[in-house]
Structure 1
């Protein structure tokens, strides 16, 4: 995979997430862009409970992961964001997964973005709004102080939704 090819890295991350969920015993399929706001759809074995996953990719060691404006929307209790750190080939870095409930993502991204907008940019100029939203990756924290470290490898959050009665 070309290390500069964002599309390939993004596609790979969706398959890595689906593969990890399947490895843990949960049927998961990559939607290939055919389902709004859902990159991976996960179900319990009975097919009676579902979790929607939006996947975003970063390179381990980067300061932030771009998520976009829709990260400010709470899509419900069965919607998760998974930020996937895919290392470059032939490096010693490991894959990294942050499993974040939609409600937590929405609240924290919105607050951090408002604080970023209110903070003067370079040379004291006002910042201009855009569709870009970012999540700061550990060990960094966002403008609001949000630290996503506690979401690292939290597959249990998804599993709890699939086991719920």
Structure 2
């Protein structure tokens, strides 16, 4: 990961942690080599816990969130979430997903993409990454914007 991408990713994690703090939810950062989640969120009374993966799109990125192909593997963990962060010039947007629900959306969008022939009619080749872009957003995706209640705190 490039230094710029690393800074963007860490910045997104701090933004999410700050938003959780504003809601009286304790956010703890995990070691950077943790492959599944970046933050552990805990209610102040210790009765609720959520594990959060953060994916950040930087200013000027018009291609959406680039994700590893492993995003499509369901985890069957009701306490696992992904927050997609969109850093804009004048605001930060957060799209909150249950991990497995985002996995299903990304997998479906990728399947549609890979089955659509190229302009010249040839077959698309499998790529090692996936993405989630605003052009694929449904009304349900837009309702996730800044909807922290999805985490269940």
What TM-score results when the alignment is normalised by the length of structure 2?
Answer: 0.86
The reply to whether residue 136 of structure 1 matches residue 129 of structure 2 is no
1:101 Cα shift?
Answer: 1.0
Structure 2's unaligned 5+ residue stretches are none
Alpha-carbon displacement from aligned partner over 1:13-59 (angstroms, at most 9, x marks no partner): 11111111112100111113243301111011232431111111113
Higher normalized strand content (fraction of residues)? 2
- Partner of residue 113, structure 1: 110
- Partner of residue 146, structure 2: 153
Alpha-carbon displacement from aligned partner over 1:104-129 (angstroms, at most 9, x marks no partner): 10111111111111001242221111
Segments ≥4 residues shifted beyond 2 Å: 46-49
Asked whether the equivalents of residues 108 and 146 of structure 1 are also in contact (C-alpha less than 8 Å), the reply is no
Paired residues in the alignment total: 149
Q: Distance in 2 between matches of 1:32 and 1:97?
A: 22
Q: Distance in 2 between matches of 1:46 and 1:74?
A: 29
SS in 2 for 1:5: helix
Closer/same/farther in 2, CA of residues 141 and 36 from structure 1, 3 Å limit: closer
Q: Distance in 2 between matches of 1:136 and 1:52?
A: 23
